């Protein structure tokens, strides 16, 4: 089985990454960390830049787990890319990070997180950033 982490270069992505490493160690499962965005001409803050990718890859290499980092920027949404991975791999759990929201923002979960919860067929663990 594989633990899949949806990574974004923000505190909520770091929280998901930390939890993914912790669970992969405990369960002795493979860990795949994915960063995805549609790409295009405008900047997307959810897409990891080269220094972020290198740092995450170094962290995974030193974590003592069978781990891999993948980045997809090929026109599809992050939700579409994650859903495709869930369908093609034997994913035991998908880990996503949630950011803190004000009272009004709590009424509506982030659109990507909500789409993931409504779309994927595996268990989803949502972790909050500190």
For 59-88, write each residue's pLDDT tens digit.
Answer: 999 999 999 999 998 888 889 999 999 999
| Mean predicted lDDT score pLDDT of the chain | 90
Work out the pLDDT band at 45, boundaries 50, 70, 90: confident
Mean pLDDT in residue range 91-104: 82
- What DSSP assignment string belongs to the chain? -EEEEE--SSHHHHHHHHHHHHHHHHHT-EEEEEEEE--SSS--TTSPPHHHHHHHHHHHHHTTS-EEEEEEESSS-HHHHHHHHHHHTTEEEEEEEE----HHHHHS--HHHHHHHHH-SS-EEEEE--
CATH number of 2-128: 3.40.50.620
């Amino acid at each position: 089985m594989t633990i899949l982490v949806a990574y974004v270069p923000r505190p909520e992505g770091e929280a998901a990454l930390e939890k993914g490493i912790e669970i992969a160690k405990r369960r002795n499962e493979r860990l795949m960390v994915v960063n995805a965005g549609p790409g295009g001409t405008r900047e997307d803050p959810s897409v990891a830049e080269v220094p972020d990718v290198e740092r995450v890859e170094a962290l995974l290499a030193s974590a003592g787990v069978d781990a891999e980092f993948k980045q997809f920027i090929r026109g599809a949404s992050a939700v579409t890319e994650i859903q495709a991975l869930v369908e093609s791999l034997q994913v035991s759990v998908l880990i996503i990070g949630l950011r803190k929201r004000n009272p009004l923002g709590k009424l509506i979960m982030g659109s990507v997180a909500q789409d993931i919860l409504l779309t994927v067929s595996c268990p989803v663990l949502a972790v909050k950033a500190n």
